[in-house]
Amino acid sequence: MRRDIPHDCPRIEALSSLVDDEIWGSARDEIQAHAAACPLCGATLQAFRDLRRGLQALPDTGPGVDIATSIGDRLSPRTKARPTRRRIPWRWEFAPTGLAAAGVLALGAYLGMLLASGTTVQVARSPAATVFGTVPAGGLCLTAGCYERGR
Amino acid sequence: MIVKQPSDAESVRLAQAGDRAAFAHLVRRHQGGVHRFIMRMLGSHEEALELTQETFIKAWQALPQWQPQAQFKTWIYRIASNTAMDALRRRKIVEMVPLEEDYDAPSQGAGPEVQLESRQRLWALESALAALSPEQREVILLREIEGLSYAEIGAALDLHEGTVKSRLARAREALASVVRGSEA
| B contacts of A74 (beta carbons < 8 Å) | 53, 57
Residue A146's pLDDT band (boundaries 50, 70, 90)?
A: low
Mean pLDDT, chain B, integer: 87
Alpha carbons B98 and A25: distance in angstroms, whole number: 39
Mutate to test the interface with B, among A78, A79, A82, A84 (most CBs of B within 10 A): A78
Nearest by CB: A75 against B57, B104, B176: B57
A-to-B residue pairs, Cβ atoms closer than 8 angstroms? 123
Cα R_g (chain A), whole angstroms: 46
Q: Could A70 and B170 be called an inter-chain contact, meaning their C-beta atoms sit closer than 8 Å?
A: no
Answer whether residue A18 shows pLDDT above 90: yes
> Mean pLDDT: which of A59-73, B102-116, B135-149 is highest?
B135-149
- Any idea which of A112-121, B74-83, B84-93 has the lowest mean pLDDT? A112-121
Cα–chain center distance at B5: 24
Nearest by CB: B103 against A47, A59, A63: A59
Mean pLDDT, chain A, integer: 79
- The angle formed by the CA atoms of residues A99, A105 and A110, to the nearest 5 degrees, is 125
Answer whether residue B17 shows pLDDT above 60: yes
Residue pair B43/B130 in contact (Cβ under 8 Å)? The answer is yes
CB atoms within 10 A of CB A78: 17
Answer whether residue B168 shows pLDDT above 60: yes
Alpha carbons B49 and B87: distance in angstroms, whole number: 13
Answer whether residue B93 shows pLDDT above 60: no
Could you tell me which residue, B118 or B91, shows the higher pLDDT?
B91
Q: Where along chain A do its domains lie?
A: 12-56
Q: Does A41 touch chain B (CB under 8 A)?
A: no
Answer whether residue B167 shows pLDDT above 90: yes
Residues found in chain B: 184
Q: Could A63 and B49 be called an inter-chain contact, meaning their C-beta atoms sit closer than 8 Å?
A: yes
Could you tell me which residue, B60 or B124, shows the higher pLDDT?
B60
Q: Give burial (CB, 10 Å; 0-12/13-18/19+) of B26.
A: buried
Helices (H), B63-160: 72-91, 112-131, 134-140, 150-157
Query: Looking at residues A86-114, what average pLDDT do you find?
Result: 80
Q: Does A59 touch chain B (CB under 8 A)?
A: yes
How far is residue B76 from each of residues A1, B10, B69, B81, B152, measured CA to CA in Å?
33, 16, 14, 9, 11
Q: Could A75 and B60 be called an inter-chain contact, meaning their C-beta atoms sit closer than 8 Å?
A: yes
Query: Looking at residues A37-47, what average pLDDT do you find?
Result: 94
Minimal-distance CA residue of chain B relative to A22: B150
Could you tell me which residue, A41 or B112, shows the higher pLDDT?
A41
Answer whether residue B2 shows pLDDT above 50: yes
Residue pair B23/B60 in contact (Cβ under 8 Å)? The answer is yes
| A contacts of B177 (beta carbons < 8 Å) | 1-2
Answer whether residue B122 shows pLDDT above 60: yes
List B residues 19-58 in contact with A (Cβ-Cβ < 8 A).
20, 23-25, 27-28, 31-32, 35-36, 40, 45, 48-49, 52-53, 56-57
Residue B5's pLDDT band (boundaries 50, 70, 90)?
A: confident
Residue pair B51/B42 in contact (Cβ under 8 Å)? The answer is yes
Residue B105's pLDDT band (boundaries 50, 70, 90)?
A: very low
Query: Looking at residues A102-114, what average pLDDT do you find?
Result: 89
